[in-house]
Structure 1
Amino acid sequence: MEYNGFPTIRGRGMVKWNPFASMPEQYEEIHRMFEEQYKVPKPFLTQDTMERIERALMQSLHEEKEIFIS
C-alpha cells in the first residue's frame, strides 16, 4: 500500500491481540476498542458550506463536469 509514492506503515493489527481473545467477551471488547481507535470524526459543516457544496454538485450534474470537493 502506498501513499504519495511512499509506503505506509502497517502494524500487525489484530494479530498481536489474538492470544488475549481466548474468551468471546474479550474478543468482542478488543474488537470494539480496535474499531473505536480508527474512527474518523465527521467534519462539521456550516449551512453556508453545505449550500456551496450542493450548488457545486447541481452545477456539475447539469453541465456533466467532474468536480473535486475537499
Structure 2
Amino acid sequence: MKIINPNAPDEYKYETDYRKIPSEYLNPRIPKGRGKVKWAPFATIPEQHERLKQYMEDQNKIDKPQLSDHQLNDLNDKLVYKMFHDPQIEVSYFEDGYIKKINGFIHKVDTHEQCLHLYEETGLIKIRLCEITEIK
C-alpha cells in the first residue's frame, strides 16, 4: 500500500480523507478554498431587484370576492342593526388584492358616495360599501 502522508504519524500515513487528518500534518501550501459561502441573490440593477420583489408580493394577492344577493342583504341588515344598536363594528374589506380587517365605531353611512365612515384609533377612515366582504 502506498504511503500518502510520509511526514505524518503512523496513524495518519495511509489516511486518504484529509478531513480526518489534523491540520498541522497537512501540506501548508495547499490552498484552503473559500469554505462555506452563503449564497445571496444577485441584484445587478436596482430596478430589477424592485421588480422581482413586486412579483413576489403580487403572488400573494387574491381576486375580489364576488358576493351573492343573499350575502349582500345580510351585510346590509348587519350594517343597519349596528348603526342603530351597537355602533362598534369589525369590518373585513378588500383592498389592493388583500382582505383587511378594521375595528372602529360607525360615524355615518354616506349613500351618495357609497362609503362607510368609521372612527378608528388613527382617525376617521372611509371604506367603500362595494369593498366590504364581512361585518361582525
TM-score range, shorter chain: 0.5 to 0.7
Q: Distance in 2 between matches of 1:62 and 1:21?
A: 56
Matches within 5 A, 1:45-64: 45-64=67-86
- Structure 1: 5+ residue stretches without partners: 1-17
Q: Distance in 1 between matches of 2:43 and 2:80?
A: 49
RMSD: 2.5
Name the structure 1 match of 2:46. Answer: 24
TM-score by length of 1: 0.54
For residue 55 of structure 1, what is the amino acid of its counterpart?
D
List per-residue Cα deviations over 1:26-66 (Å, max 9, x = no partner). 11221121111111332111233112101111111211166
Higher radius of gyration, 1 or 2: 2
1:40 aligns with 2:40: no
- Structure 2: 5+ residue stretches without partners: 1-39, 91-134
- SS of the aligned residue for 1:52 comes to helix
- The count of residues paired between Structure 1 and Structure 2 equals 53
User: Which structure shows the higher helix fraction?
Assistant: 1
Bigger relative CO (Cα 8 Å, ≥ 6 apart): 2
User: Which structure shows the higher strand fraction?
Assistant: 2
TM-score by length of 2: 0.32
Q: Distance in 1 between matches of 2:42 and 2:55?
A: 13
